[in-house]
Structure 1
Amino acid sequence: MALTSITLQVFVAALAVAALAATVWLWPRLSGQGWLPVTGRIGVLVADQILTLAALGLALNSYFAFYASWSDLLGTDTSTAPIIPATGAAAGAGEVQVLSSTPVASARPGSGRSGGRLEEVVVSGPRSGLSAPAYVYLPPQYFEKKYATARFPVIVGLTGYPGDAKNLVTRLNLPQHAAGLIAGHQMHPTIMVLMRPTVAPPRDTECVDVPGGPKAETFLSTDLQHAISTAFRTGTDAQSWGVLGGSTGGYCALKLAMKHPEVFSAAVSLSGYYHGLIDVTTGDLFGGDKRLRDEHDLMWRLAHLPAPPVSVLVTSSEHGEANYQATKAFLAAVKPPMQASSLILPSGGHNFATWNREVPQALPWLAQQLHDPGRA
């Protein structure tokens, strides 16, 4: 059964309930003092715990879409998919393979207008040697005759770790938000590239070019823009590119803009943090190089390097977010020409429910920072 199937979740939950019932029924028979009754009590308790945790784990994974399949969970997914020509990508754009194309529902049902299209793609980067799945949202204007020569601004959306790019479509509803904002003239027609920053799964690279390892930063800062601007009609200057992310994606969004203002001119961090994490999922990201570690510490950059000419928006909550104090310190450290804004909720946890309250303000803010390159 598939990892995210309802059938598997119900089956394991039923097993957990049955195991608890069996434990109640068997317990009087396991009440003796010998080694067999003691072993039996330990066995049924361990079985109960395993089945209960498995049921909870499957439900949480399905809800948050951490892993899409067993092979994704185990890091053994090497499958490929056929390339299907779609109307959005330019012919011969070899760094972007379009796998499928689906319509986005109109923001105004009954209007007869399209909400745009969502293309499932694989982006390959020759400089980094990496490739990653993504979704590309193309606004309805992309297909209109009067925009036939127009180039569009781009927003890159990043998940947290481990994340799934589909979360940005189904949980944050970014394409639907964009369609509504564009229809309401609150943002220019904008292309969105939605992906996870985990470009070398299952390792969490924190968007770092790891010494002797994956060049995640090169992929996200160089390869991605080249591939997308080759395949689609996008602006190519930094003023036309912004980046938004949540949690790990928020840290990456800030870092990409601050380290690469020649690529991104604006960033939004939803509940992001301000220095690269080192744990069992990351391994040694910096090869013992303190200078490299400092370069990926955003507070260190603000204190020791010239401020980049970028605009950023950071979000947090006074109650429920661990990054609240760090966010205040970050805002206090920003100096011109860098500009920083904040969106601080009274309360809200580190989850999609909180980010869904922030996106309706954060997305148009980001779009308004970008230059519309207009018609070629």
Structure 2
Amino acid sequence: MGLTSDKLLWSVVLAAALLFTGTVWLWPRLARRTWRAVCGRVGLLLATQVTLFAAAGLAANQAFGFYAGWADLFGQEKDQGVVVDHAAGGAALRVVGTGRVPGVTGARPETGGRIDEVRIVGRTSRIASPAYVYLPPEYFQAEHRARDFPASVVLTGYPGTARALVDKLRYPRTALQQARKGRMEPMILVMLRPTVAPPRDTECVDVPDGPQTETFFAEDLPEAVGGHYRVTGGRGAWGVIGNSTGGYCALKLAMHHPEVFGAGAGLSAYYKAPVDPTTGDLFQGDEKRENEADLGWYLEHRPAPDTSLLVSSSKRGETNYKATLDFIENVKAAERTRISSIILESGGHNFNTWRREIPAALEWLGKRLAEPKRS
């Protein structure tokens, strides 16, 4: 059973309940002072505690998507997904499975939309990454067969799982509901994690002599998706949204590549790439790259990007609140960059907080992508 399997979670919960019941039932028999009774008490207590902690850990991982599988948990991820050899003319995007939108009635894609499980291979970066693509119902309807649709990249935090964007953060379901309410136009969502070179956290940086992650997201991914699906083209036609690390990546991609991303939303984002054991040496002494990965520095020392940005935080529960207010002020001083915000009274750095922000963020994103672009 996989680490994120519901069957595993409920099996461990059941085991914990049975062990607890067994401990209560057998405790009188084990009340003696013999070595066997003592060992029995210790064994039952230890087994009960282990299963309880395991159940809590599995439930937390289900809720927050920390690890995708056992290899990810134990740091033994084998699929590096960085350098890929492929024949010239090979498909940059391959669909490996299709499914329904969770929580949505309607088996037919014309009524409930569809989720494609895909594998994207970057022609320039040579990074290969799995992803999920949400296609709205209109994409399959006869009257819209000639229509192109706006598209947005959706990014998890680190380490994160792409499936959590579908099941836990409910991006496809929310996008469908917002479109049905007339609050946004139907939109294609390309959902994946920024950890495209696992287990390393590359912070969406083009690492010297390493993974060219920024190139993958800014060049390869839009090219691959646009070559397979009916995606609106033109300057700034794409959006990008993410939480935590994905939020930082979203803001940076929109600022560094406004010709691709007309809008970027960072939920609970930070504003400077960290350097720690999970990232390794991202910049290899390249001061220019390091400075440009600091979004505050970028606003002060580079021409203001012609893009729209959205940031979120909460007054209680988020550590980025002051940094977010400072970032808003820095953007307001830039002439061509637009800034919006979602500030909650309280909310921690977790899925529940982001689920409260995603409907408004998607609505904002849809409106910005529908705006006419400046030449």
For Structure 1 versus Structure 2, the TM-score category normalised by the shorter chain is 0.7 to 0.9
Which of 307, 313, 317 in structure 1 is aligned with 2:314? 317
SS at match of 2:300: helix
AA at the equivalent of 1:76:
E
Q: Which moved more, 1:140-149 or 1:156-165?
A: 140-149
Q: Distance in 2 between matches of 1:117 and 1:297?
A: 37
Count of residue pairs the alignment pairs up: 356
- Considering only aligned residues, what root-mean-square deviation do their CA atoms show, in Å? 3.4
Question: By how many angstroms is 1:348 displaced?
Answer: 0.5
Residue pairs, 1:284-363, within 5 angstroms: 284-334=281-331, 335-363=334-362
Mark the CA change 1:189 to 1:47 in structure 2 (over 3 Å): closer, same or farther. closer
Q: Which moved more, 1:144-153 or 1:340-349?
A: 144-153
Q: Distance in 2 between matches of 1:149 and 1:16?
A: 55
Which of 220, 240, 248 in structure 1 is aligned with 2:217? 220
Q: Which residue of 2 aligns with 1:94?
A: 91
- 1:195 and 2:192 equivalent? yes
Question: By how many angstroms is 1:133 displaced?
Answer: 0.8
Q: Is the 8 A contact 2:77 2:198 kept in 1?
A: no
Residue pairs, 1:157-172, within 5 angstroms: 157-172=154-169
- 1:371 and 2:340 equivalent? no
Q: Which residue of 1 aligns with 2:60?
A: 60
SS at match of 2:313: strand
SS at match of 2:111: coil
Mark the CA change 1:147 to 1:10 in structure 2 (over 3 Å): closer, same or farther. closer
Which of 270, 273, 291 in structure 1 is aligned with 2:270? 273
Question: By how many angstroms is 1:177 displaced?
Answer: 1.3
Mark the CA change 1:98 to 1:46 in structure 2 (over 3 Å): closer, same or farther. same
Q: Is the 8 A contact 1:209 1:215 kept in 2?
A: yes
Q: Which residue of 2 aligns with 1:88?
A: none
Question: By how many angstroms is 1:236 displaced?
Answer: 2.4
Q: Is the 8 A contact 1:247 1:269 kept in 2?
A: yes
Q: Which residue of 1 aligns with 2:70?
A: 70
Q: Is the 8 A contact 1:93 1:227 kept in 2?
A: no
- 1:259 and 2:256 equivalent? yes
Q: Which moved more, 1:311-320 or 1:60-69?
A: 60-69
Question: By how many angstroms is 1:152 displaced?
Answer: 1.3
Q: Is the 8 A contact 1:119 1:137 kept in 2?
A: yes
Question: By how many angstroms is 1:176 displaced?
Answer: 1.2
Question: By how many angstroms is 1:183 displaced?
Answer: 2.1
Q: Which residue of 2 aligns with 1:89?
A: none
Residue pairs, 1:139-150, within 5 angstroms: 139-150=136-147
Which whole-Å deviations, capped at 9, do the CAs of 1:331-364 have from their partners, x for residues lacking one?
0001110010111001111111111111111111
Q: Is the 8 A contact 1:240 1:372 kept in 2?
A: no
- 1:153 and 2:150 equivalent? yes
AA at the equivalent of 1:284:
D
TM-score by length of 1: 0.83
Q: Distance in 1 between matches of 2:90 and 2:146?
A: 18
Which whole-Å deviations, capped at 9, do the CAs of 1:270-307 have from their partners, x for residues lacking one?
10100001221111111132222111000111111111
Q: Distance in 2 between matches of 1:30 and 1:326?
A: 61
- Residue identity over aligned pairs, in percent, reads 48
TM-score by length of 2: 0.84
Q: Which residue of 1 aligns with 2:85?
A: none
Which whole-Å deviations, capped at 9, do the CAs of 1:123-178 have from their partners, x for residues lacking one?
11021111111111111221223322221111111111111111111112111111
Q: Is the 8 A contact 2:155 2:246 kept in 1?
A: yes
AA at the equivalent of 1:166:
R
SS at match of 1:279: coil
Which whole-Å deviations, capped at 9, do the CAs of 1:102-135 have from their partners, x for residues lacking one?
2337968799961211111011102111111111
AA at the equivalent of 1:232:
Y
Q: Is the 8 A contact 2:102 2:166 kept in 1?
A: no
Structure 1: gaps of 5 or more residues: 32-36, 81-91
AA at the equivalent of 2:77:
T
SS at match of 1:219: helix
